[in-house]
């Protein structure tokens, strides 16, 4: 799943190194446009439905946080 997520992220922001960063939002790398675009991609590629209440910056600040969100919703 991590590999697939990294592919989605690479498509969303080509050339950007996501791995190892824990401040994707707080560091100013992703804004709300990027997050919502990513939400749409994640919904499509992982066949999940990210609810509004989960669209908070904490869930998008690192690859691990995004992965945890996707895994949680995939299990539901």
Partner 1 sequence: MEQIISLKQYEQLLKGTRKQYGRLHTNCFMLAPETERVIEQGRLYFEETDQGLLFFVDEKRYYQVYFHISPDVKKLQMIPKKKPVLIRIIYMQGGKSHLQNKIDKLIAEAGFSLLDSTTQVYTVAKDNLVVMGAMYERMENLLKEYGMRLVVAGEEHLDEILKLRDSEPELKMFHIPFHTREEELQIIREGGYACVVDHSNSICAARKTERMMGSLYSPWFCVKSEYKDKYGLGIVMTGFEMKYACEHDLPRVYGWIANDNVRSWNYHKRLGVICSGKVADEWVLQENRG
Q: Do the Cβ atoms of 4 and 74 come closer than 8 Å? A: no
22 binds partner 1 (CB under 8 A): no
Question: In this chain, which stretch among 1-9, 14-22, 40-48, 65-73 interacts with partner 1, using CB under 8 A?
Answer: 40-48
Binding residue for partner 1, selected from 14, 15, 20, 51, defined by CB under 8 A: 51
41 binds partner 1 (CB under 8 A): no
Give exposure, 48-74, as e/b (b: 16+ Cβ within 10 Å): bebeeeeeeeebbbbbebbeebbeebe
Smallest separation, CB 28 to partner 1 (Å): 4
């Amino acid at each position: 799943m991590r590999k697939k997520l990294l592919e989605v992220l690479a498509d969303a922001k080509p050339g950007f190194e996501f791995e190892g960063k824990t401040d994707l939002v707080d560091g100013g790398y992703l804004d709300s446009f990027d997050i919502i675009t990513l939400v749409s991609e994640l919904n499509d590629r992982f066949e999940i439905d990210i609810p509004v209440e989960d669209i908070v910056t904490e869930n998008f600040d690192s690859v691990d946080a995004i992965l945890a969100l996707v895994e949680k919703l995939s299990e539901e």
